[in-house]
């Protein structure tokens, strides 16, 4: 394949459109979703941004570094976490949302599986719902349709260790997107996430990256979210979570070359640079 300026612009002309509340994102390159944890017990950066002032400052810093989306979460979903109530989760994220919605230049996503929290966030201006339970609850689908938000639908089902992860993901995507569309969510608002680290073995988590192209559902944006996760640590000697930046970049690069449109990360500046190189390589693949 000979790469020309026309070839490079061809990706933009045929880029996926992800409709979110109030507009659409043209995914003509890899988008960076910056993680903003406002929780004391995140596996990676728990407590680091638990005050409103620190959280807001970090959001602005991620935007300066090149984040395309800020994803705000008030509850840890690490293995073995202790769930908190919807009320407590809302108390954590509400003041941060109030300081950011309409005041930063990129869309805001809310990372929650509580429908009532998602609805309140939308009322304040959140444009994307990121639900680690994959929009399992009918109420979450109802609010997503009502507020016309973008939806990150994540696979979070315990798999048998012998299961073929790509086949399982594709079947889940087909079933859940059908449910979402039936309940009034436009297909153009759905982004799919394989759920790295959720209900999968170490081998299956590696297969997600190695065979990313096989699990892409045609026409739907795909998100990869392996930042600092256990699969990264297990592959490189189990360094502390904060020292897994390079491993995260390696994993996400494989996903980008397989067709991922968005990567969800803690380390934005490093991810922006890595994604730019991966994108430059991707358009040159035969």
Give the model's pLDDT for residue 286.
63
Please indicate whether residue 103 is annotated as part of the active site. no
Evaluate whether residue 136 is within a structural domain. yes
Evaluate whether residue 195 is within a structural domain. yes
Evaluate whether residue 225 is within a structural domain. yes
Which residues constitute the domain of residue 138? 17-282
Structure tokens at 284: 């040159």
Evaluate whether residue 11 is within a structural domain. no
Ranges of residues in the chain with a pLDDT under 50 are 1-9, 43
DSSP secondary structure string for all residues of the chain: ----HHHHHHHHHT-EEEEETTEEEEESS-EEEEEEE--TT-TTTTTTT-SHHHHHHHHHHHHHHT-SEEEEESS--STT-----HHHHHHHHHHHHHHHTTTSSS-EEEE-S-HHHHHHHHHHT--EEEETT-S-SHHHHHHHHHHT-EEEEE---PPPTTS-HHHHHHHHHHHHHHHHHHTT--GGGEEEE--TTSS--HHHHHHHHHTGGGGPPTTS-BEE--TT-HHHHHHTT---GGG-HHHHHHHHHHHHHHT--EEEES-HHHHHHHHHHHHHHHTT--
Share of the chain above pLDDT 70, in %: 90
Evaluate whether residue 204 is within a structural domain. yes
Please indicate whether residue 229 is annotated as part of the active site. yes
pTM higher than 0.85: yes
CB 158 within 8 A of CB 172: no
Evaluate whether residue 235 is within a structural domain. yes
Give the model's pLDDT for residue 35.
97
Active-site entry in 19, 141, 176, 264: 264
Give the model's pLDDT for residue 10.
55
Number of domains present in the structure of the chain: 1
Evaluate whether residue 186 is within a structural domain. yes
Evaluate whether residue 10 is within a structural domain. no
The mean pLDDT of the chain is 92
CB 194 within 8 A of CB 169: yes
Active-site entry in 19, 229, 230, 244: 229
Give the model's pLDDT for residue 4.
46
Give the model's pLDDT for residue 49.
63
Give the model's pLDDT for residue 39.
82
CATH assignment of the domain containing 158: 3.20.20.20
């Amino acid at each position: 394949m000979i790469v020309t300026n026309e070839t490079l612009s061809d990706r933009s002309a045929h880029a996926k459109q992800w409709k979110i509340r109030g507009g659409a994102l043209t995914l003509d390159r890899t988008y960076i979703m910056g993680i903003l944890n406002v929780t004391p017990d995140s596996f990676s950066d728990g407590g680091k941004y638990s005050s409103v002032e620190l959280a807001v400052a970090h959001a602005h810093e991620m935007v300066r570094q090149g984040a395309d989306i800020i994803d705000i979460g008030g509850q840890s979903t690490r293995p073995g976490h202790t769930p908190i109530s919807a009320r407590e989760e809302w108390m954590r994220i509400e003041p941060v949302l109030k300081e950011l919605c309409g005041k930063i230049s990129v869309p805001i996503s809310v990372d929650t599986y509580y429908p009532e929290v998602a609805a309140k966030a939308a009322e304040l201006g959140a444009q994307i719902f990121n639900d680690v339970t994959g929009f399992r609850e009918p109420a979450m689908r109802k609010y997503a349709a009502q507020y016309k938000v973008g939806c990150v639908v994540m696979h979070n089902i315990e798999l048998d260790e012998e299961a073929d992860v790509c086949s399982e993901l594709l079947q889940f995507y087909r079933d859940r997107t059908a449910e979402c569309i039936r309940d009034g969510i436009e297909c153009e608002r759905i982004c799919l996430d394989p759920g790295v680290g959720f209900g999968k073995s170490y081998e299956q988590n590696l297969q997600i990256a190695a065979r990313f192209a096989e699990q892409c559902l045609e026409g739907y944006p795909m998100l990869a979210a392996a930042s600092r996760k256990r699969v990264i640590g297990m592959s490189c000697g189990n360094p502390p979570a904060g020292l897994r930046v390079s491993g995260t970049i390696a994993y996400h690069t494989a996903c980008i070359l397989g067709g991922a449109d968005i990567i969800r990360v803690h380390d934005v500046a490093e991810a922006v640079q890595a994604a730019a190189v991966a994108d430059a390589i991707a358009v040159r693949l035969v």
